[in-house]
Structures are given as structure tokens and as C-alpha cells.
Amino acid sequence: MISLNGQQSDVRAGETVAAALSRLNLTLDARGVAVAVDGEVVPRAQWESFALAEHARVEVLTAMQGG
């Protein structure tokens, strides 16, 4: 099971970060978005190639009002 923003997801091991982003209706050109997998930044350039492992924790973040 791969967790996506703290929720169980239907993303399966071997799928890419880009595939996970599509579950959140985000495309590769989404502005102001960053991804961390298991506490490490995955740069945008690797979104299409980075394959997720079983039990990966994917965090997809963007700007929110704050500070």
C-alpha cells in the first residue's frame, strides 16, 4: 500500500510519482507543487521516472495561506 498525503491510495508499487500526482488531478506542469517520498525531495525532473516502492509515503505539497 502506498500512502498519498496521509491517505491509503490505489497507487501501486512500480507506478511513478507522476502517476500518483494524477490521482490528485495534478499534471507535470502543475505550478507551485513539490513532492517528497519517504522524507526526501523528488525534483520535478524525476516525477516521470521515479518509481514508487511498496509502502512508500508520498507527500504532495503546495502553497497555502500562512505566516
Partner 1 sequence: MIADVHETIDTPGRASPNGAHASDDAAAGRSAQGAPSPEAAVSPAPPAPSARADELTIAGRTLRSRLLLGTGGFASLALLGEAIAASGCELVTVALRRVDPQSRGSLIDVLADAHVELLPNTAGCHTARDAVLTAHLAREAFGTDWVKLEVIGDEDTLLPDAPELLRAAEQLVDEGFVVLPYTTDDPVLARRLADVGCAAVMPLGSPIGSGMGIRNPYNIALIRQAVDVPVVLDAGIGTASDAALAMELGCDAVLAASAISRAQDPVAMAQAMRAAVQAGRLARGAGRIPRRLYATASSPDVGLPELGPA
Which residues bind to partner 1, rule: CB under 8 A? 5-6, 24-26, 31-36, 39, 41, 43-44, 59-67
Phi, psi (degrees; rounded to nearest 5) at 33: -125, 140
**Cα-Cα-Cα-Cα dihedral sign, residues 19, 23, 29, 32:** negative
* Nearest to partner 1 of 15, 58 (CB atom): 58
* Nearest to partner 1 of 32, 54 (CB atom): 32
* Nearest to partner 1 of 8, 32 (CB atom): 32
Return the DSSP state at 17: H
